[in-house]
Chains A and B, each alone.
Chain A
Amino acid sequence: MSQNHIMWEKLGMDVETHDLLCEALPQAFGDVYLSQENRPENMAYYNMVVGDIHGIRPAELIKHQEAGGKIIGTFCIHVPDEVVFAADAIPTGLCSGSQFWVPGGEKYLPTATCPLIKASLGARFDRTCPFFRICDLFVGETTCDGKKKAWEILNEDAEMYIMDIPQMKRPEDFKKWEDEIHGYIKRIEELTGNTITAEKLRDAIVLVNNKRKALKRLNALREHEAIPISGRDALLIHQIAFYDDPARFVEMTNKLCDELDQRVADGVSVFPEGTKRILLTGTPLSIPNWKVHQIIETNGGAVVCEEMCTGIRYCEALVDETGTDLDTMVENLAERYLGHINCACFTPNDARIDDIIELAKRYKVDGVIDLNLKFCNIYDTEGYFVEKAMREAGIPCIGIETDYTDEDAEQLKTRIGAFIEMLG
C-alpha cells in the first residue's frame, strides 16, 4: 500500500471510490497538458503538484497539524488568507472543479444548483477529497443563495464559520466588511490559540502580496504578441495558487517567469501565428476544470486572460502594506477584498464591465467568451450587461453556459470553433 493510501485511510476517506478519481487524472492531464508542444520547462513543478494533488500538499498540511497548527478551508477569494497566516495557521482553497464529486452533492442539494457548490459538498460527504477531511474549520461566505443554504447543510457534518459579505460597495458596506474581518480574526484566534498581532498580520499581507505579484508578473507576460505560455498552463498555475505553500509557489512561479521573459525576448510563442486571442470572463474554474480552455485552445484560440476568480480577480489588486496598526491593516484588507473584487454578487457591478473592456484592450484580444457555470444565476443575469457592453465597444463576444460534464464538449467545440472562425 502506498504512503498516500495509508494517509487517506487515516483521514477516513472512501479510498476505493477515491481511486477512481486518481485513475482518471493521468489521462485527462496527458490530453490537456502533455499533448501541448513547446511547454515551458518550468511547468514541471506544477505537473508534479497536480500529479500528486492529493498526496504532497495534504501530507504537508497534516504535518502542520501534528505540530499543533490548524488548517482552514475556504471557498471564495473574498475571504482574506492573511488572517489565517497571521495566526500561524494554513488556509487552503477547497477543490470543487470535478464532475466526480457532483453526484455526491446532488444527494443533499437540488439538481438546479451550480456544479461548484454540488462538487464541494459531494467531496466532503462522499469522503473522496483529503483536503475536505483535513480542515479544522470551513469558512463559507454569502456570495450567493446557493452557497448560503449549502453551508447550513455542510455545517451538519463539519465546523463552519460564515462571513457575511455586503452586496453593495457603499462606505457603510466597507465598514461592515471591516467588522466581518475583525470577527474572523477573533474566530481564528480562538481556534488556534494564537494572537494575531500587527506584526504578524503585516508579514502575512506581504506574503500573500508576493503571491499576487508573481501571478501578476505571469499574467503580464501573456499581454505580448508572441504568447510564451498557453492559457491552460496559466489556468493551472492560478488553480494551484489556491492551495500550494505560498513561499514555494512564489519562488517557482518567478522561476517560470524568468524562463518566459527569455521566450518573450526571443519572440517565442506557444501558438501559431494567427491564433485568435481570447479573454475569458465569468464564473471560476476550480481545479481540475480545464474543459473550456482545452476546447478554445484546440480550435484556433489562445486564452490570454481570465477575468475570473481563478484569474485576474485573484491577483490583480494588492493589499496596502503601509499600515502599522491592526485597525488600519484591517481597513486595508477590507478595501482590497471588497473594493477590488468585482463579483457578480454586487449591485451595481459596473466596475466588472469596465475591467473587461480595459483587459480586452490591454491583452489585445480578438474576442471575449462570457462563461457561465450552469445554475449560477447572478453571473448568468449579469451576462446581459457584459454582452451589451461588448457590443457597444465593438468587441466580439459570445455567451457560453456549461457544467463539469463532458457531455456538451462537442457542442461547445462547434460553437466556440464557429465564434473563433468568425473573428477572421
Chain B
Amino acid sequence: MDQQTIYYVFLPDTSAVMALYEVLRGVGIACTIAPTPREADHCCGVCIIYENHTDKGKIHELAEAHNISIDAFWSQSDRNDPQRYKFC
C-alpha cells in the first residue's frame, strides 16, 4: 500500500458497502470498511478502503458483475495520526 495515500470507494448505502466488501474479500482484495471522511462530503456514513490503487479497475468490474452501484472512487493523503489524541 502506498503509505501516503488512502483509497476509498463510496457507495449509496451500508447494504451496498457490505455487499461489495464481501465480494472483494472473496477474491482476496485487501480492504476494510471505515467511516466516510468528512472531507469527501458523501451521504453514506461508511465506505470501503482498499489498499492497492491498482485494484481500482478490478473493483469496478466486480461491482458491475454483482450489480452493485458505485457512487465514486476517491483518495486522500493519510491524515491518521495515532499521537493526535483528539477524540470525539
Contacts and interface: CB of A to CB of B under 8 A. Distances in A.
Interface of A: 2-4, 21-32, 34-36, 39, 41, 43-45, 47-48, 50-52, 54-56, 98-100, 288-291, 294-295, 298, 404, 406, 409-410, 413
Secondary structure type dominating chain A contacts: helix
B86 A41 contact: no
Contacts of A298: 82-83
12 contacts: A26-B38, A27-B37, A27-B38, A30-B35, A31-B84, A34-B34, A41-B32, A44-B33, A48-B18, A50-B35, A51-B34, A406-B87
Nearest to B18: A48
Contact of B85 (A4, A29, A404, A410): A410
A56 B14 contact: yes
B46 interface: yes
A211 B21 CA distance: 25
Contacts of A2: 43-45
A24 B39 CA distance: 11
Contacts of B6: 34
B25 interface: yes
Ordered nearest first, which 8 A-B pairs have the shortest CB separation?
A51-B35, A409-B85, A24-B88, A52-B45, A51-B46, A2-B43, A30-B80, A26-B35
A31 B79 CA distance: 8
A39 B87 CA distance: 20
B49 interface: yes
A295 B84 CA distance: 10
Contacts of B86: 27-28, 31, 406
Contacts of A22: 38, 45
Contacts of A404: 87
Best-buried of B18, B46, B49 by chain A (most CB within 10 Å): B46
B71 to A, nearest CB: 12
Contacts of A21: 88
Interface in B12-44: 13-14, 17-18, 21, 25, 31-38, 43-44
Contacts of A45: 33
B25 A41 contact: yes
A250 to B, nearest CB: 18
Nearest to B83: A298
Contacts of A294: 82, 85, 87
A404 B38 CA distance: 22
B81 interface: yes
A342 B45 CA distance: 38
A23 B34 contact: no
A47 B87 contact: no
B32 to A, nearest CB: 5
A35 B82 contact: yes
A4 B45 contact: yes
A30 B46 contact: no
Nearest to B31: A44
Contacts of A39: 32
A30 B86 CA distance: 11
Contact of A100 (B82, B83, B88): B88
Contacts of A24: 88
Contacts of B35: 25-26, 29-30, 47, 50-52
Nearest to B6: A34
